[in-house]
């Protein structure tokens, strides 16, 4: 069954209307026809099972047959990802969406090669959010991650955002397996963490000064094994581990 996305404010009443790019994709690419069943995701937990009423290149009208409201994940993951070269971040966003990430913050650090002006920052944020939308449609994620516009690491730290548990991939000798920090939190709080942040550096990693600043903000250094992982591998490794530990039925 084909899936489409509409923001929550457009998902009211017995009829939903696809327009713009979603209508074009439905009518001109997938060639949906009246009577066909499709699914609409609003990115805020809503899943609408619909029947196509009419379709042309500009609008596709859908009759809502039933809907399901999915509760938020038990733990919200924030990926604080230094921007890698090329289009690697797009792949990371896709995989992070599949792994149930709640929020992605692209970071500009000293070793990030991309240099963005104000217009580029806004364009990148919009483009990367669209990547997340497409990934959510592909995998059927009822909750759409928020992809923020790129921000300098120092600027983000200045916000003093608090997470129940923050982890940073580190090559230093005092780094520990992430499971140790999860167990320590559970032992101290009597429950699993509900808001976890993961910091992943760019090619060449964070500088020592950046890493110290991140750790001073409360992040715990974690090891990802003896091998030095590529940026995208490190991000997927961390999110996969957290998803298994904190989101799977066994947790």
User: Where are the domains positioned within the chain?
Assistant: 2-69, 76-246
Contact 41, 47 (CB under 8 A): yes
In this predicted structure, the answer to whether residue 197 has a pLDDT above a threshold of 80 is yes
| Mean pLDDT, residues 142-169 | 96
Please give the Cα distance from 13 to 118 (Å, whole number). 39
Per residue in 10-46, pLDDT (tens digit) is 999 999 999 999 999 999 999 999 999 999 999 999 9
Return the CA Rg of the chain. 20
Q: Is residue 120's pLDDT more than 80?
A: no
Q: Do domains 2-69 and 76-246 have the same CATH topology?
A: no
CATH number of 2-69: 2.40.240.20
CATH architecture of 76-246: 3-Layer(aba) Sandwich (3.40)
pTM: 0.93
């Amino acid at each position: 069954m084909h899936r489409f996305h509409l923001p929550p404010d457009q998902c009211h009443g017995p009829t939903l209307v696809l327009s713009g790019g979603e209508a074009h994709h439905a009518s001109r690419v997938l060639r949906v026809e009246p009577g066909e069943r499709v699914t609409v995701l609003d990115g805020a937990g809503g899943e609408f099972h619909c029947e196509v009423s009419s379709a042309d290149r500009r609008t596709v009208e859908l009759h809502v047959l039933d809907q399901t409201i999915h509760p938020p994940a038990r733990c919200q993951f924030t990926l604080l990802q230094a921007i890698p070269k090329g289009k690697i971040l797009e792949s990371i966003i896709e995989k992070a969406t599949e792994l149930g990430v709640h929020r992605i913050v692209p970071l500009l650090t000293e070793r990030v090669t991309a240099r963005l002006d104000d217009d580029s920052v806004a364009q990148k944020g919009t483009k990367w959010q669209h990547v997340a939308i497409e990934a959510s449609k592909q995998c059927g994620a009822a909750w759409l991650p928020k992809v923020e516009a790129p921000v300098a690491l120092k600027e983000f730290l200045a916000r003093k955002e608090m997470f129940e548990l923050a982890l940073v991939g580190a090559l230093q000798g005092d780094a520990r397996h992430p499971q140790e920090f999860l167990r320590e939190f559970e032992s101290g709080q009597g429950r699993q963490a509900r808001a976890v942040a993961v910091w992943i550096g760019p090619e060449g990693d964070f500088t020592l000064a950046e890493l110290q600043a991140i750790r001073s903000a409360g992040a715990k250094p974690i090891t990802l094994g003896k091998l030095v992982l590529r940026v995208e591998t490190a991000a997927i490794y961390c999110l996969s581990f957290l998803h298994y530990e904190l989101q799977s039925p066994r947790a």
